[in-house]
């Protein structure tokens, strides 16, 4: 009889535990990440925006950069510990959208962004890529060259991440022109482009650096003055 009573008590304990677990599971299933953040590429010094769409019933949203929580959101207010990381929120279709804004993005911010909920093993992640626009210049400055004589114009891009695509816009009459671009052997963050041309009149040449992945470019222009060769 004692054994039967003990077994019955054990069964009741197990059933009670199952009921509690089922209740916790039901509570946990009431909120989830519907859509996580998307990959973002920005320039150093600008802002990066990430959105996370969550169903109703959440208690705490955590945003992490490279594994470190940098911003937490409660239903009443955000918990901001660093002014570079701020938040905004929206409602859409009955769901909650949490937005994290990273201000003055730096190159060392490059890494994984994660949106997660308290007491949930589900999260949404994305990658933040940071690009750096460096210097672009033509060392020789404005040039005086001989008519119908081949000459070179050199353009240098220094301190870019990643290196830009270099090209030329020719605003002078020429009988021939071509260019090539190479890495600086002593500085892998720098590149040089050499324009070879045979000018036949005055005008300008422009070196253009275009960032990969962003619709951003920088350019530098110099004057080309053509003189008659000596008799």
Sequence spans of domains, the chain: 1-30, 32-131, 135-227
pLDDT for res 30? 54
CA dihedral 98, 101, 102, 104 (to 10 degrees): 180
pLDDT one digit per residue (tens) for the chain, 231 residues: 434 434 444 444 434 433 333 333 344 445 789 999 999 999 999 999 999 999 988 999 999 999 999 999 999 999 998 999 999 999 988 899 999 999 999 999 999 999 999 888 789 999 999 999 999 999 999 999 999 999 999 999 999 999 999 999 999 999 999 999 999 877 777 999 999 999 999 999 999 999 988 888 999 999 999 999 887
Contacting residues for 210 by C-beta, under 8 A, at least 6 apart? 164, 165, 167, 216, 217
Distance from C-alpha of 183 to C-alpha of 197, rounded to nearest angstrom = 21
Give the pLDDT confidence score for residue 47 in this predicted structure: 98
Q: Which residues contact 160 (CB under 8 A, 6 or more apart)?
A: 131, 132, 133, 134, 189, 190, 191, 209, 211
Class of domain 32-131: mainly beta
* Fold match flag (32-131 vs 135-227): yes
Domain 135-227: which CATH number of 2.60.40.10, 2.60.200.20, 1.25.40.80, 3.40.50.2300? 2.60.40.10
């Amino acid at each position: 009889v004692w054994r039967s009573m003990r077994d019955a008590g054990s069964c009741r304990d197990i059933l009670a535990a199952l009921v509690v677990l089922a209740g916790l599971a039901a509570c946990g299933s009431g909120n989830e990440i519907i859509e996580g953040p998307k990959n973002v590429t920005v320039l150093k010094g600008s802002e990066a925006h990430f959105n996370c769409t969550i169903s109703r019933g959440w208690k705490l949203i955590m945003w992490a950069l490279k594994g470190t929580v940098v911003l937490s959101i409660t239903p009443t207010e955000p918990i901001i510990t660093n002014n570079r990381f701020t938040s905004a929120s929206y409602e859409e279709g009955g769901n909650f959208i949490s937005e994290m804004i990273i201000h003055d993005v730096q190159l060392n911010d490059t890494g994984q962004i994660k949106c997660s909920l308290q007491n949930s093993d589900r999260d949404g992640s994305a990658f933040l890529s940071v690009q750096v626009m460096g210097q672009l210049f033509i060392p020789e400055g404005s040039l005086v060259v001989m008519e119908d004589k081949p000459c070179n114009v050199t353009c240098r891009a220094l301190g870019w991440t990643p290196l830009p695509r270099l090209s030329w816009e020719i605003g002078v009459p020429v009988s021939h022109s071509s260019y090539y671009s190479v890495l600086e052997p002593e500085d892998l963050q720098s590149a040089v482009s050499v324009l070879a041309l045979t000018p036949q009149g005055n005008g300008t040449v422009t070196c253009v650096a275009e960032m990969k992945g962003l619709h951003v470019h920088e350019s530098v222009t110099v004057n080309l003055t053509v003189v008659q060769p000596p008799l």
